[in-house]
Structure 1
Amino acid sequence: MSKKILAFIITLSASFVYAQTVPDSLSINPQNQQNAAQRILSGNINTGVTVGGYGEITYNQPEADNGELDVQRLVLLFGYKFNDKVQFVTEIELEHVEEVFVEQAFLQYSLNDNVNLRGGLMLVPMGIVNEYHEPTTFNGVERPSIDGSIVPTTWREIGFGVSGRFDEVSLRYQAYIFNGFSSVNGTKVLGGKNGLRNGRQKGIRSTVDSPNFSAKLDFYGLPGLRLGLSGYFGRTQAEDDVEDIDGTSVGISMVGFDARYAYQRFTARGQFIHASISDTEDYNNLNVADLGSALQGYYVEAAYNLLPLTKQQQLFAFARYEDFDTHASVDGGLMRNDSYDRNEWTFGLSYKVAPGAVVKADYQIKDNAAGSDVPNQLNIGLGVWF
């Protein structure tokens, strides 16, 4: 019996090694970029298990305040290929050493080379970082602030839909029906500072009373350039016993445009997001909240590899400017809060020491329209993806 168990363990370990994904984080061409789930789905194994992971350890030091060291996240990736048409992908995330979440868990059925049916817990395709947030795929120790306050990353919900690509016209598409944000998530309400972030249900006993629609198109027909157009439309979710009361839900119409470009040692990216929120006056009165009727923001970033292209390692110096406002407009008697109209400069270095391993450092200069004192911040981090 012990020999059989040993043989089983050796066989299983060998299959894991064979099935591990090959890191491609040093590929700077946005036309070829894949996230963790896409890399698992495109693996070249016939059947069996694929394993991988990514993680970040960060140090954040605001001016004149205590610094913080954190194992910010460790994500374990698992995929299983049943046959040429059916695959399952999941991500198990451990945040700050003590919290455990399922970030993705979906089943994909491939009808043909261009059409894939999906169902389960999936990322909402909005902007860049919500889908491509592995630490070796973006500059900066922290993700862009817009992708925390407006999008909000990591944004995932339960749903079903279709995805695929048509290489003859250089177009990738996604379209899904999701459950939406919770109008009131436990004791948390939607509000001005973080917009819709408190409403993410994350597949945790999610309330659903009306479907939400999400779609994205990516065009990659020009050398080195990738363009994305995203949309999300629907309403927040309220419990059945109160859903007919004015203010128990709000309508959401969110659109986004993003662009990524790479040429030799130069890369650039940018993103614009606008969300219109309806029925906020009733919602704020009912829930004693300060949710704005419009959220809007953008960022632009440029980076340059200081090392020769002949080197496997890369050292990117980058600068990013962000401008975002979670009170871009307000309804009713709500007063606009200028401290929610924020801008940030981030300057830093990303040293990619090997495929799938990066050391980062940056400095952030923060401000807002109210002129209130916002501390600047030094960030240092380690990131891996394998």
Structure 2
Amino acid sequence: MKKLLFSLAIMATALVNAQTVGDSIQLDPQKQVNAAQRILSGNYGKAVTVGGYGEMLYNQPEGDNGTLDVQRLVMLFGYKFDDKIQFVTEIEFEHVQEVYVEQAFVNYNVANNVNLRGGLMLVPMGIINEYHEPTTFNGTNRPGMDKSIIPTTWRELGVGVSGKLNNLSLGYQAYIFNGFKSVTSDKNGLVTGGLLGGSNGLRGGRQKGIESTVNSPNLSLKFDYYGLPGLRLGLSGYFGKTQAPDDVDMVDGADVGMSMIGLDVRYAHKKFMARGQYIMADISGTNEYNALTGQNLGSQLSGYYVEGAYNLLPSQKNQKLFAFARYENYDTHAKVDAITENLGYDRTDVTLGLTYHLTSGVVAKADYQFKDNAALSSRDVPNQLNFGLGVWF
């Protein structure tokens, strides 16, 4: 027993010493990092690095009961094998009871600003999919278009390269990933259903590294320009096709092709911040896919949002209190092929709220969302009041 207690004490001491060092509240988009980047750069000579983030939410739709939820708790672990090779993983607990591996990849620094990566990684599309820690964005909930179109948290297995061209003020990422899974099948090789649909678009097809099937690797690209003070511009692309199980991948309509383009901008100046994003995904072969599966997948998904925020506290204070407003419109039936367009999928959210950074790594949020869609009646889309508490260390 004494040996066990001694071993646990040594382990606890090692973990405490290996924590990432907390930084000040970093709002300059050119200097912001996400959890994985912080792990990779934050070991400070230690072999093991530990961190985490999480958020607890209260959502109150108008006229309905509210819900309280530990939305997610993510534990981050990094290990430094030597000066060039590191391993990063994120273990996510959703709604207390669901466990996922959000990331698990090896990073090999082959030269200054050039890294080779392989494993389970986030697809670099838009802003939130890579920067979704609760202290990095305004609003209790992530933007709706980042759930229905991109969709967060989108991660798959792959290999690729990332780095910076500092003389051009340009960051780059290029990966080969497995794609979305498109259909389910039975032991007789018959298609039993479709995983992609009208309301949530591609979201149901995320494989998340869970016994993923692959028959046609997809290409993912991201470029970030940071040549002007306080400004960061992003251009994302994702090209390929979905993945059907081996026993049905030759069935007509089992797969669809896709091309997704994303533009994003983040800006900060003194007490003001702004960001915006536009995403468009063209899906080919939806007519055959919908006929085979009975789904109503659109042939084009698109959306955008614009957001502005202003710090109400004096600039010299470590604490920040941002009042913000966000307008977003996203449509998973922007175009359809041989099916009836559902106007209810053309959605508009207006979010007004406050984001209070109590200290580095702790944020309290409150907002109210006005929800609408293009259907004749929007009574089934209640407005919503939200509160949240988030941490990141």
- In structure 2, the residue matched to 1:344 is 349
Q: Which residue of 1 aligns with 2:385?
A: 378
Structure 1, residues 220-272: CA drift from partner, whole Å, max 9, x if none?
11000000000000000012222122100000100000000000000000000
Counterpart in 1 of 2:189? none
2:288 paired residue number? 282
Question: SS at 1:14's partner residue?
Answer: helix
Q: What does 1:25-104 align with in structure 2 at a 5 Å threshold?
A: 26-104=25-103
Mapped to 1, the partners of 2:318 and 2:134 lie a distance apart of 18
1:127 is aligned to 2:132: no
2:173 match: 174
Deviation by residue 1:254-310 (Cα, 9 ceiling, x = unmatched): 000000000000000000000000000000000000000000000000000000111
Q: Return the alpha-carbon distance in structure 1 between the equivalents of residues 366 and 265 of structure 2.
A: 24
Q: Which moved more, 1:44-53 or 1:143-152?
A: 44-53
Q: Does 1:107 align with 2:106?
A: yes
Check conservation: 2:194, 2:293, Cα contact below 8 A. no
Provide the residue aligned with 1:326 in structure 2. 332
Is 1:198 the counterpart of 2:204? The answer is yes
Q: Does 1:308 align with 2:307?
A: no
Q: Distance in 1 between matches of 2:24 and 2:216?
A: 38
Deviation for aligned residue 1:167: 2.2
1:94-143 deviations in Å (ceiling 9; x for gaps): 00010000000001111011211100000000000000000000000000
Question: Would you say 1:218 and 2:224 are equivalent positions?
Answer: yes
Aligned residues between the structures: 384
Structure-1 residue corresponding to 2:190: none
8 Å CA contact 1:23–1:385 kept in 2: the answer is no
Extract unaligned runs of 5+ from structure 1: none
In angstroms, what is the RMSD of aligned CA positions?
Answer: 1.4
Question: Which residue identity is paired with 2:178?
Answer: N
In 2 relative to 1, CA 33–289 (structure 1 residues): closer, same or farther, beyond 3 Å? same
Q: Which moved more, 1:188-197 or 1:257-266?
A: 188-197
Matched residues in 2 for 1:240 and 1:184: separation?
11
1:149 has 2:148 as partner: yes
State, as a whole percentage, how many aligned pairs show the same letter.
67
Code of the residue aligned with 1:295 in structure 2: it is L
SS of aligned partner of 1:111: strand
Quote the offset at 1:371 in angstroms: 3.4
Q: Deviations over 1:127-176 (max 9, x none)?
A: 00000000000000000001000000000000010111122321111000
Per-residue deviation, 1:47? 4.3
Cα distance, 1:9 vs structure 2? 3.9
Which AA in structure 2 matches 1:303?
A
Q: Is the alpha carbon distance of 1:328 and 1:258 closer, same or farther for their aligned partners in structure 2, counting shifts above 3 Å?
A: same
Per the alignment, residue 157 of structure 2 pairs with 158
CA contact (8 A) 2:62 2:384 kept: yes
Residue 367 (structure 1) aligns with? 372
The Cα shift of 1:46 comes to 2.6
Offset of residue 72 of structure 1? 0.5
The answer to whether the aligner puts 1:183 opposite 2:182 as a matched pair is: yes
Residue type of the alignment partner of 2:175: Y
What is the TM-score of this pair, normalised by structure 2? 0.95
- SS of the equivalent of 1:227 reads strand
Select 1:353's aligned residue among 342, 349, 358: 358
- Partner Cα separation in structure 2 for residue 304 and residue 73 of structure 1: 27
Residues 351 and 368 in structure 2, CA contact (< 8 A), matched pair in contact too: yes
Task: Determine if contact 2:183/2:245 at 8 Å carries over to the other structure.
Answer: no
Equivalent residue, structure 2, for 1:12: 11
Q: Contact 1:157–1:179 at 8 Å: present in 2 too?
A: yes
TM normalised by structure 1 equals 0.97
- Give distance in 2, aligned partners of 1:234 and 1:59: 38
Q: Distance in 2 between matches of 1:49 and 1:16?
A: 7
Q: Quick check: 178-187 or 259-268, which moved more?
A: 178-187
Query: For residues 25 and 139 of structure 1, do their structure 2 counterparts lie closer, same or farther at Cα, with a shift above 3 Å needed?
Result: farther
CA distance in structure 1 between the partners assigned to 2:370 and 2:89 by the alignment: 37
User: How far is the alpha carbon of 1:14 from its aligned partner?
Assistant: 3.1
Report how far residue 16 of structure 1 moved: 2.0
